[in-house]
Structure 1
Amino acid sequence: MTRQWLRQLRPDPGRPLPDPAISPAAATAMTAVLGPEPVRWAVQTANTMAAEILGQVPEHGGGPAPLATLRRSTESTVLAALRLLLTESSGEGAALPDEALEGCREFARRGLRLDQVLRGVRLGHARLTQELTSAIEQYVPAGERLTELRRITEELFAHADTHAGLMAESYIAERDRWRGSDEAARRKTVDDLLAARPVEPEAATRRLRYDVARTHLAAVLWCDDTEDPLPASERLQHTATALARTVGTDSTLMIPATGNIAWLWLHAPDDLTGLTDRARAGTDHAPGVHLAVGPPAHGMAGMRRSHYGAREAERVARLTPGNWLTDYREVRLVALATAAPEHAHWFLHDLLGPLASDGTRVRELRETLRVYLAEERSLRAAAGALHVARNTVTYRVKRAEELLPTPTTPGNTLELRLALEIARTLLG
């Protein structure tokens, strides 16, 4: 039989379906081959695979960037497997997708062992086999299921064997290249600093070509997929250089984290007044580049402190896309309150009740109440901040308070304000 049943694949409505992690161009190309619904099925299956791999081999994780790389790798693997099965190809001459090669490079740079890499491959293919077995039960006529199941199992086994071999070869080649590079020595020093392991300051300064004893301003830069012809690495470098020029320093340390993410440290200027506003207005950032800045901090411990502040600012920025530059000092309260996202959702729903609902009107009421409380219940100040009439503020605050589970009192204002700030980030 032909494999046209693969074109009937549909995502399970009862399971999470994130946006594709691969580039829009790659998603469009695969949609032309497989169809839109099988691609959505592949994205959902790959997301499940990534979650299982992280659960069994947590070394694959470590933050938003490694998770994004893992998701791109699993998505490209599932889509490549579907394409092979649909064309009933033997898989001869197969090559790793670019996203899987990117994963190999990151695994080598982060120091994952080969057995951890290959265990992730095996877990992923096991999940894919289970998902396709369930699909055969759903989409293949009963009389043809056993034969099709045997064929699919044999072809997936061969594909998994080839894929694992190519991953091992690419990982070993990248690991050997990385271990012999100056970049590896610099990354090792940075990793030691970030892990608070003992580091000799003069040796670190010499290896990094950056004075670790100064006051630092750390940043995380990352790129969206755009149509810009410049590679992500060049756009990140351009933005880092422009930021240093705006800050007024020529002493920088930039470490690639993944293909489209970089870590940056600058020597902080003596005058920090209005630094964020100057950076927003004066930095010639490349298209699709975002920047999260940590708090200024001194010495080697300060490099770690500022970096982790920047990482938290990055996390908050990814929850609320829009601004190209996010300063930790402007979002640190929300960063602290959303460190455990599920707990934060419970908290805001407990405090806000129906005021935590979706919808433009409810968001308008939430924002008005938030500004009103931030302005110490001044109708005039709130109206000025929101650019509306005082009567409008009065009406909205009254309506918002009617939606709250409990009345506002001086005793619960702090918790209510915190819930409104969390809602602004998590709910919009």
Structure 2
Amino acid sequence: MSAHVDDVVATVARDIDARLPELTVELTDWFVEMIPEFRHDEAVRQLMVASTSANLVGIVDLLAHAIPVEQIAVPPAAAEYARRFAQHELSLEALLRAYRLGEHRFGQWALDSLRRGDRRDPDVVLAAVASLSERTNRYIDQVVEGLIDIYETERRRWSTRSGAGLAARIRMVLDTDPLSDSAADELLGLPVRGWHRAAVLWVSGPTDAADDDGLLQAGARLLHDAAGRPPLTVLADSRTLWAWHSGPTAPALDVELLRARMPGDVCVALGAPAAGLSGFRGSLAEAVRARAVVENSVLTPPVTEFDDVAIPALLTERTEDLRRWVARVLSDLDSDEPGVDQVRETLRVFLASGGSYTQAAGRLHLHKNTVHYRVRKAEDLRGRPLGDDRLQVEVALLAASLLRTRP
């Protein structure tokens, strides 16, 4: 019966493999819902998705090809995600909980696949369920054992490298509520009642750890030059540095100097100047949001100010809610069918031109009649004319464009 059981297990693995992209999204969304520590910024979120995908591929390959568990190693993406977890001072327990939740969800998928299959021998099915559970569990145990070592090693290394004491104090200021100004002053070693402007520097290209260090240090020196004084800095992770310039008045920063001299593999996002503890926190939050916009865009400018990307940053904060709203406002105009993108862009420019067919035609280098036709086409796709909801349509068109830049 063993050969029959292996065949059933392999068939289930192939069935799951065929749906891996959608199942990966399902699992990562569930992690974010169930585990607060999994609510990351965009860069770490992408690494979390890569880690999840790599583990699912590893389990499927184990089952489909009867690979001995002893040959299983921690997938590189999963190892790097564990290191980032340690660098962000997130708990090992949260990381391990995700693996047990993932094991449970994978078991559900396997049972669903067995129910859909035409397998009449109950003994074979029961043996396959036992085999699926045992092999998946052994994979998880093998990977978790390696992850614990990776996490603990990185935690010790990071404590000596990142200025652990300062990093811990800054995170307390960012995360503790309520927190008095005097307590924040003592933690930061600077008067929090003043003005602050935050920057997030990150390494955008593929480099090794030594290069990352050098590039971030070069970026920090450039921030010093642009402000005329050194910023307060802390490593957020091995490829990201947070920085603040603070003073009694709004910090001046030579943004053009940053644009001209920022190293090629380094990007910086700037929050707006703001006062007080809320300003210290809020300026960093803006810089983090600006970074997310850059990482979801086709172009990667060396310097991005939050005020220049505020609308896309705020619009894409809750992506799934935004997608549903855009679909309601635009209806079939939100379609990816050929030619609809041109209709959307024409309507966007028409509305931005104050409803002038002539101005829109000039900006788009089209004949006025073509603009007229596409605007009517847009109304047909929406199923209703442009009326009192013009502002909603303009915002929805911008959001539709932004959402299509996301991975």
Using the size of structure 1 for normalisation, the TM-score is 0.73
Residue of structure 2 in register with 1:27 after alignment:
none
Distance 1:118 1:96, change over 3 A: same
1:204 aligned partner: 188
Pick one of 139, 150, 171 that aligns with 1:191: 171
**1:70–1:333 CA distance, 2 compared to 1 (3 A):** closer
Q: In the alignment, is residue 221 of structure 1 matched against residue 202 of structure 2?
A: yes
Which of 41, 56, 60 is equivalent to 1:78? 56
Selected match of 2:335 from 343, 357, 371: 357
In structure 2, relative to structure 1, the CA distance for the partners of 1:360 and 1:311 (3 Å cut) is farther
Residue type of the alignment partner of 2:139: H
Structure 2 residue ranges without an equivalent (≥5): none
Q: Are residues 335 and 181 of structure 1, via their aligned partners in 2, closer, same or farther at CA, if it must alter by over 3 Å?
A: closer
- Give matches, 1:237-256, under 5 Å: 237=216, 240-241=219-220, 244=223, 247=226, 249=228, 251-256=230-235
Q: Is the 8 A contact 1:249 1:269 kept in 2?
A: no
Residues of 2 paired with 1:355 and 1:246: CA distance? 48
Residue 145 (structure 1) shift: 4.2
Q: Deviations over 1:273-313 (max 9, x none)?
A: xx4xx4796254535x6554322334553332222112222
Structure 2 residue 293 is matched with structure 1 residue 310:
no
Q: Aligned equivalents of 1:149 and 1:242: distance in 2? A: 59
Structure 1 counterpart of 2:141: 161
User: Where does residue 233 of structure 1 map in the other structure?
Assistant: 212
Deviation at 1:216, TM superposition (A): 1.4
Q: What is the letter of the counterpart of residue 135 of structure 2?
A: E
Contact 1:57 1:116 in 2 (8 A): yes
CA distance 1:312–1:145, change in 2 (3 Å): same
Partner of 1:417 in structure 2? Answer: 394
Q: Match for 1:187: what amino acid? A: A
Shift of 1:315: 3.5
After TM superposition, list the pairs within 5 Å mapping 1:2-401 onto structure 2. 6=10, 9-10=13-14, 38=17, 41-85=19-63, 88-92=66-70, 95-135=73-113, 144-179=124-159, 183-195=163-175, 197-198=179-180, 199-201=183-185, 203-205=187-189, 213-219=194-200, 221=202, 223=204, 226=206, 233-234=212-213, 237=216, 240-241=219-220, 244=223, 247=226, 249=228, 251-265=230-244, 270=252, 275=255, 278=256, 282-287=260-265, 291-298=268-275, 300-324=277-301, 326-401=304-379
Q: Aligned-pair distance for 1:363?
A: 2.0
Return the alpha-carbon distance in structure 1 between the equivalents of residues 173 and 292 of structure 2: 21
Alignment CA distance shift 1:266-1:348 (3 Å): same
Distance 1:53-1:415 versus aligned 2 partners, 3 A rule: closer
Q: Is the 8 A contact 1:215 1:298 kept in 2?
A: yes
The answer as to whether partners of 2:43 and 2:292 remain within 8 angstroms in 1 is no
Q: Matched residues, percent identical? A: 25
Q: Secondary structure at the match of 2:163?
A: helix
In structure 2, give the amino acid aligned to 1:270: A
Which runs of no fewer than 5 residues in structure 1 stay unpaired? 13-37
- Output the amino acid matched with 1:194: L
Question: Per-residue displacement from partner, 1:346-398 (whole Å, max 9, x unpaired)?
Answer: 33333333322224522222222222322333445434433445454444334
Distance 1:43 1:342 in 2: 17
Change (3 A) 1:106 1:230: closer
Aligned equivalent of 1:29: none
In structure 1, give the amino acid aligned to 2:170: V
Structure 2 vs 1, CA of residues 246 and 204 (structure 1 numbering), >3 Å: closer, same or farther?
A: closer
1:113-158 CA distance string (max 9 Å, x none): 3433332221122223333455566789765544444334333333
Q: CA deviation at 1:9?
A: 4.5
Q: Cα distance 1:369–1:351, how it changes in 2: closer, same or farther (>3 A)?
A: same
Change (3 A) 1:399 1:137: closer
Report if aligned partners of 1:11, 1:44 keep a CA contact under 8 Å in 2.
Answer: no
- The amino acid across from 1:204 in the alignment is L
Work out the CA distance in 1 between the residues paired with 2:396 and 2:151.
Answer: 46
Task: Name the SS for the 1:218 alignment partner.
Answer: strand
Mapped to 1, the partners of 2:199 and 2:372 lie a distance apart of 42
Deviation, structure 1 residue 329: 1.4
Contact map agreement 2:235 2:241 (CA 8 A) in 1:
yes
CA contact (8 A) 2:224 2:230 kept: no
Q: Secondary structure at the match of 1:92?
A: helix
Q: With the length of structure 2 as denominator, give the TM-score of the two structures.
A: 0.76
Q: 1:351 to 1:215 in 2, by over 3 A?
A: same
**CA contact 2:83–2:151 (8 Å) conserved in 1:** yes
- Structure 2 counterpart of 1:237, which letter? L
State the superposition RMSD in angstroms. Answer: 4.1
**Distance (Å, rounded) in 2 between the aligned partners of 1:394 and 1:294:** 41
CA distance in 2, matches of 1:413, 1:11: 46
Shift of 1:335: 3.2
